[in-house]
């Protein structure tokens, strides 16, 4: 049998038993599901974002019109983009609530300090998704939001101006900025998020869920 062939080499049943038989403490309630909901929102983001890459054009002349095409012409494009936006907001909200839950229940204490650190990194990455994604439609709101955000480092002595130029790709917000933010939003940030999520979940798996206060 095919299953027996894989079972002999990979011990699939042992892996399945380990996953399904993990002990869940009796104090766990619905608030402990907030991290899982955040993960679900991220997966929805990946799926809907990937779908939109078939139509979106990351150029200053075509970005806005391509988003309009997605919303008005592409089959179910309006639904896909709307779900992408809604799940983005939901992801941020669930992440904030998850951070509060972990902090209030002391889930950051020894021996879970590294789990907390990876969670903080994931929070920063989530905020970065919001900033980079906001710029992609190339509308007035997105343009000025990016101009303000990328201009913040300019107040730092000595290295401020080089940092601004590094973020924008030039002295002003333009094609180089859009290209950078598109690459960050669709490749760099998802990859980093997936890596840190894997680390986060492996540590939770190893150490278990923190006890009650």
Interval 104-142: pLDDT, tens: 999 999 999 999 999 999 999 999 999 999 999 999 999
Interval 17-74: pLDDT, tens: 887 887 788 888 999 999 999 999 999 999 999 999 999 999 999 999 999 999 999 9
Cis amide leading into 111 (omega within 30): yes
Rg of the chain taking only CA atoms, in angstroms: 21
Q: Is 159 helix (H, G, I), strand (E, B) or coil?
A: coil
Report how far residue 134's alpha carbon sits from residue 132's, in angstroms, rounded to the nearest whole number. Answer: 5
CA dihedral 160, 166, 168, 169 (to 10 degrees): 140
Query: What is the predicted pLDDT for the residue at 213?
Result: 62
Sole residue written with tokens 């939770």: 204
Interval 155-200: pLDDT, tens: 999 999 999 999 999 989 999 999 999 999 999 999 999 999 999 9
In the chain, where the domains are located:
29-207
User: What's the CATH fold of domain 29-207?
Assistant: Cytochrome Bc1 Complex; Chain C (1.20.810)
Kindly report the pTM of this predicted structure.
0.90
């Amino acid at each position: 049998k095919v299953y027996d062939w894989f079972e002999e080499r990979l011990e699939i049943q042992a892996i399945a038993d380990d996953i399904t038989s993990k002990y869940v403490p009796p104090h766990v309630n619905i608030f402990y599901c907030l991290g899982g909901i955040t993960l679900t929102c991220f997966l929805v983001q990946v799926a809907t974002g990937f779908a939109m890459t078939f139509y979106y054009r990351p150029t200053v002349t075509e970005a806005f019109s391509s988003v309009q095409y997605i919303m008005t012409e592409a089959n179910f494009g309006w639904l896909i983009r709307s779900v992408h936006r809604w799940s983005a907001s939901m992801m941020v909200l669930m992440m904030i609530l998850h951070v509060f839950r972990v902090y209030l229940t002391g889930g950051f204490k020894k021996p879970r300090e590294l789990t907390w650190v990876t969670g903080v990194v994931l929070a920063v990455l989530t905020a970065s998704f919001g900033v980079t994604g906001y710029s992609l439609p190339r509308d007035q709101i997105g343009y000025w939001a990016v101009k303000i955000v990328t201009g913040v480092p300019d107040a730092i002595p000595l290295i401020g101006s080089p940092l601004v130029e590094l973020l924008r790709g030039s002295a002003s917000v333009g094609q180089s900025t859009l290209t950078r933010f598109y690459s960050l939003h669709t490749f760099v940030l998802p990859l980093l998020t997936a890596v840190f999520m894997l680390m986060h979940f492996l540590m939770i798996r190893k150490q278990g869920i923190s006890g009650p206060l």
